[in-house]
Structure 1
Amino acid sequence: METNTKKIDEISIPVPWGHVAAKTWGEDKDPLILCIHGLMDNAGSFDRLISHLPSSYYYVCIDLPGHGKSSHFPPHLPIHTVNYLLVYKAATNYFKKKFIIMGHSYGGQIGFLYAQLYPQCVVKLIMLETVTTLPVTTEYFPKYLEEMIENHLKIIDSLATKQPPLYTREEALQRVKSNRNYSEIKLESAEALLKRAIEPVGQLYKFTLDQRIKNYVNPLKDNRYFIESVTKNPVKCPILIVLGKENGFQLTIMDSVIKFFKKSKNIKVVEVDGNHDVHNDYPERVAPLVSKFLLFQKGNL
C-alpha cells in the first residue's frame, strides 16, 4: 500500500458566518477528496487513515462549523442537518471543480444527501460507518421535536449563564477517548482529535465545540421514506460503504437501508472488524478498501 507522504497544510474557506477551517494533504492540482468527520469530532479524525492512502490525491479534511478550528454557526438557533449542506456548497464554490466525498458517520450522511442534490459535483462517495441519518418515525416525531426545542432552550440558557468547564490536557484527552456515543476509541485516535478540539485558557484548556451540536435536529423521515426517496432520486456515482461489525445499534436500526443498498449496482457495502470509529482506531483495516475504490478507473466496483 502506498503511504501518503505529501505536504500537510491548513486553509480557511470563507463563509458568511466566518470561516471553515481545513487541514490539507498533498497538492491542490491533484484530484480533490473532501473529507468530512462525524458529529463532535474534527478534521483530525482522518489523520491516521490518510497516512495510509494514495498520495496522488489532494485531501481536504474540513472542520464542520462548531467543530475544531471552524467558526460556529450564527448563535441562538438550533443546529439542523440541512445547515451543513452549506459547507459542501461552500467547498464547491471555493475549489471550483468536482470532488470525491469521504465522510465518516454524520459527514457521510450529509455527503450522500449532497450527492443526491448536486450529482454534477460528486465523482465518487465513500461512507465510513454510516448509511443515513437516524430515522424519525411518524409516531415519534411530535415527541422528538418537542425534546429538541426544550433541550435547545436549556443549552442556550446554560451558554448565557455559565462559563465553559476547564480541564488539564490529560483530562481533556480522556474525555475525547471515553465520552463517545458508541464506544471508546484508542488513545492515539483521541490524540489525533484532541489537537483541534481544545484551546488554552491560562494553564488549562476548554473545548471549542459548539454545545448546540449535542442537540442537532435531523430531517423528519423514516427508513421507508429514505428508500423511496433514493429509489426515485438515486445517487448515480460509485459508492463505497464501510461498516464496523461491532456497531450493532446502527446495523440493527438501519437494517432495511443496508439491505436496499446491497441490491444497488453502484454501491458496494463492506463490513470490517471494528466499531463506529474503525477508520481512526484501525486505519490499516479500512485503507486497503478505500485505496482500491479510489484507484479503480471509472469507479469500477
Structure 2
Amino acid sequence: MESNSSSNYNDTLVMTNRYRDASDLTGEKPLREFAEVTIPVPWGHISGKWYGPQTVQPILGLHGWQDNAGTYDLLVPLFPPEVAFLSIDLPGHGLSSRLPDGCYYNTVDNLYIIRIIMKQYKWEKVSIIGHSMSAIIGFLFAAVFPDKVDMVIAIDALKPHQRPYSSVIRTMETRMDEFLREDERNRSNVEPPSYAYDELIERIFIGTFHSVNKNICHHMLARHIQKSEKYPNKYFFCRDRRLKFYNYAAGSQELCVEMAKRIECPYLFIKARHSSYFEEKKYYDEVFDILTKKPNFEYFECDGSHHLHMNNPELVIEPINNFIKRFGPKPKLEKSSKL
C-alpha cells in the first residue's frame, strides 16, 4: 500500500492507499468472508462488501452518518450462511467516491443511490437494513417507492427528525460558509491532520459519543483512513470532510405523517433503550402510532447504545433473522449477478 507522491487527497485517486477491512490493520481474520465490490455511478463508484452467495439477491445494508460498511462487520456473521448481504459505503464515506466539488450531501439524494444500485443489479425490489441516518433513508424509500421494497429493518432511527424552524434557519446560515471552506480544502493538495492509530481509535470513540465500544472501533476505522505521506506510522481521515455539514432536512412533520401512511412493506424497527429520540418525542410518537397499525410492522426494544448492532449484535440478531426468514429475498431470485 505504497503512496503516490503525485496524488492529491481526492478519494478517487487514493484507493490504493486505503484500507478495506479491519483485518488489514489488525491482522485479524474477517469474521465472515466477503467480496469487495465496486458499483459504477456517474461521478465515480460505490464500494461495498458482499457477504454470502452471489447467485441470489442480497439484503442492502446502509450505514449511519460518517460511518461506513464496517458497521455490519459484527452483525453479518450471525446471519444464516445462505443469506446474502451487500454492505455499501454511501458517497463520501468509506471507499466510495465523493460527490463532485461544489455538491452538498443530503438525505433525499440517497434514494437515488438505492435506485441506481437496483438498476445496476436488475433488482425489481430491494430489502434494506439501515442504521441511524440510513434507517431514515429506508423510511423515505419505503414511502416514496412502496412498490419497490420487500422489507425494511431500521435500527435506532424511525423517521426524519424535526427541529425548531429557528434552529433550521440558523443551521443553514452558519453551515453554508463552513461548507464552502471545506469544499475549497478538498480541492487542495494539503494533507489533512494525521494521528497515531490509537489516537484515531479515541477519535472514533469520542466522535460517536461513546456509542461504539472502544475495542471494536477498528471495524469502523478501517475504511476511513489513509496512511500519511508525511509522517511514518500516522494516518488521516479520508472520508469527505463536507459530510460534517450533511443536510438532514427531509420535510415537515406533516410530510413524515403522510409518508408513514404510504409505507406498505414489512417493517421491523429496533430501538436502543439508552439512545436518544433525536427530536421531541411527540413527533416520533405520532409516526410510530401510524406504523403500529400496519399488519407487518414489528417493534423490538432492548438495552444498548445507538450502535447496539455493533456492541451487542447477539441482542438483536434473533428478531432480525426471524424477520429476514419471513420477508427477505428468497433464493429463487437467481437472476441477480455480481459486477
RMSD over equivalenced CA pairs, Å? 2.3
Q: 1:54 aligns with which of 66, 80, 87?
A: 80
The alpha carbon displacement at 1:297 in A equals 5.7
Q: 1:109 aligns with which of 126, 136, 140?
A: 136
Unaligned runs of 5+ in 1: none
Give the stretch that moved more between structures: 260-269 or 134-143. 134-143
| Equivalent in the alignment of 1:192 | 219
Instruction: Provide the C-alpha distance between the structure 2 equivalents of 1:223 and 1:83, rounded to a whole number of angstroms.
Output: 19
**Would you identify which runs of 4 or more consecutive aligned residues in structure 1 move more than 6 Å?**
none
The alpha carbon displacement at 1:28 in A equals 1.5
1:220/1:238 CA distance change after superposition, 3 Å: closer
Aligned counterparts, 1:109-188, within 5 A = 109-159=136-186, 163-180=191-208, 182-188=209-215
Instruction: Provide the C-alpha distance between the structure 1 equivalents of 2:177 and 2:162, rounded to a whole number of angstroms.
Output: 20
Cα distance per residue 1:39-62 (max 9 Å; x no partner): 110000001001111222210000
The alpha carbon displacement at 1:178 in A equals 1.9
8 Å contact kept, 1:5–1:55? no
| Equivalent in the alignment of 2:98 | 72
1:255/1:151 CA distance change after superposition, 3 Å: farther
Unaligned runs of 5+ in 2: 1-29, 330-339
Instruction: Provide the C-alpha distance between the structure 1 equivalents of 2:228 and 2:191, rounded to a whole number of angstroms.
Output: 12
Bigger relative contact order, structure 1 or 2 (CA pairs below 8 A, ≥6 apart): 2
**AA paired with 2:55?**
K
Cα distance per residue 1:61-115 (max 9 Å; x no partner): 0001111111101112221222222211121012112331001111121122122
Cα distance per residue 1:111-153 (max 9 Å; x no partner): 2212222233321111011111221444544333223323322
Q: How many residues align?
A: 293
Instruction: Provide the C-alpha distance between the structure 2 equivalents of 1:195 and 1:220, rounded to a whole number of angstroms.
Output: 30
How many percent identity over aligned positions? 28
Instruction: Provide the C-alpha distance between the structure 2 equivalents of 1:159 and 1:99, rounded to a whole number of angstroms.
Output: 34
* 1:208 and 2:238 matched: yes
8 Å contact kept, 1:238–1:267? yes
| Equivalent in the alignment of 1:222 | 252
TM-score (norm 2): 0.80
The alpha carbon displacement at 1:158 in A equals 4.7
TM-score (norm 1): 0.89
Give the stretch that moved more between structures: 187-196 or 156-165. 156-165
1:298/1:167 CA distance change after superposition, 3 Å: closer
The alpha carbon displacement at 1:195 in A equals 1.4
